[in-house]
Amino acid sequence: MTSLKKLFYGGRIYTMADSPAVCDAMIVDGDHISWVGSSSELSSVPSDSFELIDLDGQIILPGFIDSHTHLVFWALSRQQIDLDGATSYENALKIIRDFASKQSKSDKSWLVGKGWKREQWRKIKWPHKSELDRSVPDRPVAVFSKDEHLLWVNSKALAIAGITGQTPDPEGGEIGRDAGGETTGILRDNACRLVLMHAKPPSRREAETALKPAFAEMYRQGCVGVTSFDNIYGFEVLQTLDIAGKLPVRVVYHFPHDRVTEDTILRMKTGFGSEFLRIGGIKIFADGALGSQTALMFKPFADSKDNMGIEATSPNELRRIVGKATKAGMACAIHAIGDRANRNVLDAFEAVGRNVSSRFRHRIEHCQIVHPQDIKRFAELKVVASMQPSHATADIDLMKRYLGSRQRDSYRFRTFAKLGLTMCFGSDAPIEPLNPLHGIYAAVTGKAVEGRICFNPRETISVAQAVKGFTIAGAEAVGDAQRRGNLIAGKKADFIVLDRDIMRLDAEQILKTTVTATYINGELKYCADGFPD
Ligand SMILES: [Zn+2]
Phi/psi-derived region of residue 63, left when phi > 0, alpha when psi is between -120 and 50, beta in every other case: beta
Domain ends where: 248, 266, 288?
Answer: 248
Residue 241 and residue 256 in one domain: no
Give the pLDDT of residue 258.
Answer: 76
Give the pLDDT of residue 265.
Answer: 62
Residue 83 and residue 201 in one domain: yes
Rounded-to-integer distance, Cα 503 and Cα 507, Å = 8
Q: How far is the CA of 530 from the centre of ligand 1 (A)?
A: 34
Stretch (H or E) spanning 477: helix 472-477
Q: How far is the CA of 69 from the centre of ligand 1 (A)?
A: 6
Q: How far is the CA of 476 from the centre of ligand 1 (A)?
A: 19
Domain ends where: 192, 222, 248?
Answer: 248
C-alpha triplet 165, 166, 168: angle, nearest 5°: 110
Q: How far is the CA of 30 from the centre of ligand 1 (A)?
A: 35
Give the pLDDT of residue 345.
Answer: 98
Rounded-to-integer distance, Cα 309 and Cα 314, Å = 13
Give the pLDDT of residue 266.
Answer: 60
Q: How far is the CA of 475 from the centre of ligand 1 (A)?
A: 18
**Does the residue 483 lie in any domain?**
no
pLDDT by residue, tens only, the chain of 533 residues: 457 899 999 999 999 999 899 999 999 999 999 999 999 888 766 667 889 999 999 999 999 999 999 999 999 989 999 998 899 999 999 999 999 998 887 888 899 999 999 988 999 899 999 999 999 999 999 999 988 889 999 999 999 999 999 999 998 889 999 999 999 999 998 899 999 999 877 888 889 999 999 999 999 999 999 999 988 889 989 999 999 999 999 999 999 887 666 566 666 777 788 999 999 999 999 999 998 889 999 999 998 899 999 999 999 999 999 998 888 888 999 999 999 999 999 999 999 875 555 678 999 999 999 999 999 999 999 999 999 999 999 888 889 889 998 999 999 999 999 999 999 999 999 989 999 999 999 999 999 887 888 889 999 999 999 999 999 999 999 999 999 999 999 999 999 999 999 999 999 999 999 999 999 999 999 999 756 54
Are the CB atoms for 77 and 108 separated by under 8 Å? no
Are the CB atoms for 53 and 9 separated by under 8 Å? yes
Q: How far is the CA of 47 from the centre of ligand 1 (A)?
A: 48
Q: How far is the CA of 159 from the centre of ligand 1 (A)?
A: 30
Give the pLDDT of residue 357.
Answer: 59
Rounded-to-integer distance, Cα 345 and Cα 336, Å = 8
**Does the residue 484 lie in any domain?**
no
Q: How far is the CA of 432 from the centre of ligand 1 (A)?
A: 10
CATH number at residue 186: 3.10.310.70
Residue 243 and residue 125 in one domain: yes
Quote the domain boundaries for residue 37: 5-63+491-527
DSSP state of 257: G
Residue 411 and residue 508 in one domain: no
Rounded-to-integer distance, Cα 423 and Cα 414, Å = 10
Q: What does the H/E/C string look like for 293-349?
A: CCCCCCCCCCCCCCCCCCCCCCHHHHHHHHHHHHHHCCEEEEEECCHHHHHHHHHHH
Q: How far is the CA of 388 from the centre of ligand 1 (A)?
A: 9
Q: How far is the CA of 367 from the centre of ligand 1 (A)?
A: 12
Q: How far is the CA of 214 from the centre of ligand 1 (A)?
A: 17
Q: How far is the CA of 68 from the centre of ligand 1 (A)?
A: 6
Q: How far is the CA of 2 from the centre of ligand 1 (A)?
A: 40
Q: How far is the CA of 181 from the centre of ligand 1 (A)?
A: 34
Residue 142 and residue 86 in one domain: yes
Residue 75 and residue 141 in one domain: yes
Rounded-to-integer distance, Cα 54 and Cα 58, Å = 9
Give the pLDDT of residue 149.
Answer: 85
Q: How far is the CA of 426 from the centre of ligand 1 (A)?
A: 9
CATH number at residue 296: 3.20.20.140
**Cα dihedral sign, 220-498-466-489:** positive
Q: How far is the CA of 387 from the centre of ligand 1 (A)?
A: 10
Rounded-to-integer distance, Cα 199 and Cα 110, Å = 6
Q: How many domains does the chain have?
A: 3
Q: How far is the CA of 394 from the centre of ligand 1 (A)?
A: 14
Residue 440 and residue 500 in one domain: no
Q: How far is the CA of 488 from the centre of ligand 1 (A)?
A: 31
Residue 370 and residue 506 in one domain: no
Domain ends where: 218, 248, 278?
Answer: 248
Q: How far is the CA of 428 from the centre of ligand 1 (A)?
A: 5
**Does the residue 185 lie in any domain?**
yes
Residue 83 and residue 210 in one domain: yes
Residue 89 and residue 217 in one domain: yes
CATH number at residue 521: 2.30.40.10
**Does the residue 32 lie in any domain?**
yes
Q: How far is the CA of 385 from the centre of ligand 1 (A)?
A: 14
Q: What does the H/E/C string look like for 152-171?
A: EECHHHHHHHCCCCCCCCCC
Q: How far is the CA of 282 from the centre of ligand 1 (A)?
A: 13
Q: How far is the CA of 389 from the centre of ligand 1 (A)?
A: 13
